[in-house]
Structure 1
Amino acid sequence: MSQVGGPGSHLVAHLARANCLVVVPQDVTELPAGAEVDVVLIEGALQ
C-alpha cells in the first residue's frame, strides 16, 4: 500500500495505479494504526 498526498501534478500517476481510495474526513490529521476507515473500491483497477 502506498500513500498519495500533498500538492503536485506528479501524484496523478500514483492515483492512476490505485485500486481503492480511503476516505478520511477533512478535519482528521492523524489515524492510529488499526483505525477503521471507509474505503471506495475502484472497479477495473489495474493489479
Structure 2
Amino acid sequence: MPNIKSSVKSMKVDAKRRARNVFEKTRIKKAQKLVLAAVAAGDAAA
C-alpha cells in the first residue's frame, strides 16, 4: 500500500480504469463472436 497521497489516488483510479477496460473488452469479444457466427451461418441480416 502506498504512503504518498497521489499514489493512493493513482491506485484507485487505476482500479476503476481496469474494471472498465475488462468490461469493454468482454463486450467487444462477445459482439465479435456473434458477428463471426452470423457470417459462418450465412445470416445476412446480422
TM-score bucket (shorter structure): under 0.3
Q: State the TM-score, normalized to the length of structure 1.
A: 0.22
Please state which structure has a larger fraction of its residues in strand: 1
Q: More helix per residue: 1 or 2?
A: 2
Q: Which one has the largest radius of gyration?
A: 2
User: TM-score with structure 2 length normalisation?
Assistant: 0.22
